[in-house]
Amino acid sequence: MDQFEHIIKQQWPAFLADLQRIMQVPSVKGAATKNAPYGTGPKQALEQVLRLGRGYGFKTKMIDQKIGYVEWGTSDTDYIGVFGHLDVVAAGEGWSVPPFDLTEKTGNLYGRGILDNKGPIMCCLYGLKLLKELGVVPSTKIRIVFGTDEESGMSDIPAYLAAESAPSFGFTPDCKYPVVYGERGILQVRLSFPLSTQDRLLLGTIEGDQSRAHVPDQLRVTVAERVVTAKGRRAPSNAPELGENAITILAKKLQQEAGLSEAARTTCAWIAEKLHAQHTGEGIGLHTFSATEEASLVTPVILQKTTEGLSLDVSVRYPVARKEAQVLAAIRQHLPKQAEIEVVRSIPSICRDKESRGARLLSEVYGQVTGTYLAPVTTTGATYARKVPNILAFGPSFPGQKGIAHREDEYMAVTDLQSNVNIYMHAMAALIKNENNKGTQEVLIGGENICGEQ
């Protein structure tokens, strides 16, 4: 451990220089072109990181211009896979530093992607370089895989799996510590509320930055040529309690608008009453799920005027032991009589065996490096572990840290980033030096998707 810590500190300036090169690429998804299916930014970031990998002495490969990997080792088809992503969400507003750069101040490193996910996956790549320089010889081949569409649907993973076999085992550094054995189900439902012709004429277009990725912070709409505004506080959609939702704030204001009909004001009152600060679904019948080991999370994310009335998209993250049908049934019971519900996004929960040898190995590494031994957990997030067989989410956020990604001034403490390099070096060293990894998919990972069987 002391040897790893020494070389990390010794090469820290060089690591930051390489990380900054990747951070400076604005790798937000853009218009597709022939050679850049997710836009020029993500493609440029992928090319840059593979160039770094070759410079470190590793083999590299790009697949369909969408995803690529850095590889070390000469074993046969079995390999350990570490999957991260280089694409990032849009910068948004309110930054105190340049979003597409790496800025250090007061013990923190700032920039879009420093946490999600450029910083952590670069910790893995540079950590692999350091293992090579320390003379580690891999018994099992390892790949650091760099995706470029994680934030917008993970369509890069099917392209990868069509061209390459799945790893025997591995992890994604795109969630939290300790080991994450389960990812909760995700639903995005669209609630439709009819409005009268007169209300639709009085109500203008709802303006503001709305996305399923975050709690909206500023909205405005005209009512009979008068502007109504709502100011909240942005937060990731899987941590709504850290923000203030401009949608429900706007609904509260609209229910007071005398120019709107009683029916329209009743609709706005329902949105405010049932969804404002009701983060575990108390207003729509999902709070009863909290009797399980984790609560539901409910976040209104997109409010729009339609040709028929209002539509409201709500993000719901539900416990791993529950089913989508149960969630929908609970919501339907609490909807106003004329409202309709439609599923626009559905991601089932995923569970892996938390007692598997792979989960125990990663837990042991985390305990040895940090001095804290913690049981595997579930998450409200969605990572590549949902799409890639045989991998678990592992880091980079430490217990108690949440709501940092997808916001202005995204950051990681310098000491936390250094700890991540250290943890990932130990994890990769343990996996690639293990002679028993060959063909041990079932031994390392245990059951694939065993939700409801815990």
Specify the residue for token string 């590299």: 60
Which of 314, 347, 380 terminates a domain? The answer is: 347
For residue 381, the model assigns a pLDDT of 86
Same-domain status, 162 and 300: no
* 451 assigned to some structural domain: no
* 452 assigned to some structural domain: no
Cis check: omega of the bond before 396, within 30 degrees of 0? yes
81: helix, strand or coil: strand
Q: Range with the lowest mean pLDDT among 106-110, 317-321, 387-391?
A: 317-321
When pLDDT is cut at 50, 70 and 90, the band that residue 441 belongs to is very low
E strand or H helix at 427, and its extent? helix 414-432
* Identity of the amino acid at 27: S
What is the average pLDDT across 331-359?
93
When pLDDT is cut at 50, 70 and 90, the band that residue 196 belongs to is very high
Same-domain status, 55 and 136: yes
* Per-residue pLDDT reduced to its tens digit, 284-315: 998 766 544 578 899 999 999 999 999 999 99
Residues 6+ away with beta carbon under 8 Å from 11? 126, 130
Same-domain status, 331 and 295: yes
Q: Is the pLDDT of residue 332 over 80?
A: yes
Q: Is the pLDDT of residue 435 over 60?
A: no
Q: Is the pLDDT of residue 445 over 80?
A: no
Which of 347, 375, 405 terminates a domain? The answer is: 347
CB-CB contact of 175 with 121 (8 Å): no
Same-domain status, 149 and 247: no
When pLDDT is cut at 50, 70 and 90, the band that residue 439 belongs to is very low
Whose CA is closest to 314, among 281, 282, 285?
281
CB-CB contact of 144 with 315 (8 Å): no
Same-domain status, 360 and 405: yes
For residue 433, the model assigns a pLDDT of 86
For residue 453, the model assigns a pLDDT of 45
Structure tokens belonging to residue 175? 């969630």
Which of 347, 364, 391 terminates a domain? The answer is: 347
For residue 301, the model assigns a pLDDT of 97
Same-domain status, 260 and 153: no
* 265 assigned to some structural domain: yes
What's the CATH code of the domain at 115? 3.40.630.10
CB-CB contact of 200 with 209 (8 Å): no
* 450 assigned to some structural domain: no
Strands 79-85 and 141-147: parallel
Same-domain status, 193 and 336: yes
Structure tokens belonging to residue 127? 């950590």
DSSP E strand stretches across 361-433: 377-379, 391-394, 396-397, 411-413
Same-domain status, 212 and 124: no
Domain that holds residue 177: 2-183+350-445
* 453 assigned to some structural domain: no
Q: How far is CA 370 from the centre of its chain?
A: 24
Mean of per-residue pLDDT scores for the chain: 92
Q: Is the pLDDT of residue 396 over 60?
A: yes
Specify the number of domains making up the chain: 2
Q: Is the pLDDT of residue 364 over 60?
A: yes
Higher pLDDT, 8 or 400: 8
When pLDDT is cut at 50, 70 and 90, the band that residue 443 belongs to is very low
Structure tokens belonging to residue 338? 């004329």
Same-domain status, 24 and 46: yes
When pLDDT is cut at 50, 70 and 90, the band that residue 336 belongs to is very high
Q: How far is CA 172 from the centre of its chain?
A: 11
406: helix, strand or coil: coil
For residue 392, the model assigns a pLDDT of 97
Q: Is 426 exposed, middle or buried (0-12, 13-18, 19+ CB in 10 A)?
A: buried
Same-domain status, 157 and 291: no
Phi, psi of 329 (to 5 degrees): -60, -40
Same-domain status, 126 and 226: no
Structure tokens belonging to residue 377? 């957990």
Q: Is the pLDDT of residue 417 over 70?
A: yes
* Per-residue pLDDT reduced to its tens digit, 247-280: 999 999 999 999 999 999 999 999 999 999 999 9
* Per-residue pLDDT reduced to its tens digit, 122-173: 999 999 999 999 999 999 999 999 999 999 999 999 999 999 999 999 999 9
311: helix, strand or coil: strand
* Identity of the amino acid at 69: Y
Same-domain status, 75 and 172: yes
Q: How many CA atoms lie within 13 A of 441 on its CB side?
A: 14
* 218 assigned to some structural domain: yes
* 454 assigned to some structural domain: no
